[in-house]
Chain A
Amino acid sequence: MKLSAEGQAWLNATVQRVMARHHVAEAERAGLHYELMSHLHGAGEEKARSAGRDEVSMGDLQAGLLDMGGEEAMAQAFVAPRAKPPKRADIVKRAIAYLIDLVIVFLAWMAVAAIIDITLSVLLLPFGGTFGGFDPFDVFGSPFKGRGFIPAGFGLVFVVILGYFTWTEGKAGASLGKRIFKLKVVRVDGTPIGYREALIRNVTKVFPPLAFLDALFILVFFRAEQQRASDRLAETVVVEE
């Protein structure tokens, strides 16, 4: 039996909402998605048939969902039994992932700094500027040192670190270091995080000693949840995929 375009869109959106209510392992998602789509469509089809129509409408699907007790009940019936409480990530893996991330950001920042430095040097040449101001070991200030362009150039590396973590985790739930260990940041309820959570939980990472203090909360206060203080604030946890 045909399905109206409106019904199709509603079906898709509804199934996605139902699935998002629980954390399901990546490998099971596709199968479950198909199953839910097929089942809910079957319920709607029955409604349409008993009403003597030959196309399943959005209303039929909604009536079918209501018979099952609504989205929450459907999630309880279909998704919850397949949901696995995600395993909390090992603290050592998290620490190593963080160090790897810092190295990645450090190297990338050096490359960017070098490019900025050389570009500025070339541009400043006609005005008496010189090459060779780039100091690879002075990551904080090198591109702008002594030029008076941005006296606060020192702070730029903080922005770069925070930007890196916020972008990678907000977009896909994992920084490059986390990917290596198959770690993922999710909300406490298991659903994916967004840029907001990524920003909040990564502020302390710009300054390693601060990140260390933040991580101490895992050992002292939030052992069961394995949350840093800023994880607590962002309502996030790191899990193993």
Chain B
Amino acid sequence: MAGEDLDRWTQQMRKGSAKLAILQLASERERYGYEIVAEVRDRTKGALQLAEGNIYPALHGLEAEGFIASQWREVEPGVPPRKYYKLTARGRELHERMVEEWKEYAGAVGRLLKGGS
């Protein structure tokens, strides 16, 4: 029972951080879909795993809202083209504010867990 509850809670937490993860990676440099999945997995040592089916809808959503912009690019002849994503000015602003919020939130939860003194 506890396991199920924990799973659900973890899932919700990860879902919330997926958007931040995408914005973070795209803020560093242009990224393509698979690269984002692989990079998030590697950097967090597997703790954060973007579901393959969620990444593209998330990217499309962010693009439709004007936070990221994309461009199909030919990589090499004979190799499927890749869609590269980068932050727009609006996306940059959102990213910065999300990072601030996250730090504040993480700090607050940390203080909470440490207990009152």
Contact = CB atoms under 8 A, between A and B. Distances in A.
Contacts of B19: none
B109 to A, nearest CB: 31
A120 B50 CA distance: 72
Interface string B46-80: 00000111001100000000000000100010111
Contact of A78 (B35, B56, B79, B80): B56
B32 A78 contact: no
Interface of A: 1-3, 5, 8, 11, 34-35, 37-39, 41-43, 45-46, 56, 68, 74, 76-78, 80-82
B81 interface: yes
Contacts, number: 58
B33 A35 contact: yes
A2 B33 contact: no
A2 B79 contact: yes
A8 B78 CA distance: 7
Nearest to A79: B53
A42 B32 contact: yes
Contact of B52 (A11, A46, A78): A78
B82 interface: yes
B73 to A, nearest CB: 10
Given A35-B33, A39-B33, A43-B34, A77 B78 contact: no
A68 B32 contact: no
B80 A11 contact: yes
B32 A38 contact: yes
B83 interface: yes
B38 interface: yes
A38 B53 contact: no
Contact of B78 (A2, A38, A46, A82): A2
A38 B52 contact: no
A2 B56 CA distance: 24
A132 B37 CA distance: 76
A5 B79 CA distance: 10
A37 B79 CA distance: 9
Given A34-B81, A81-B53, A39 B34 contact: yes
Given A76-B53, A77-B52, A42 B35 contact: yes
B45 to A, nearest CB: 16
A79 to B, nearest CB: 9
A11 B76 CA distance: 16
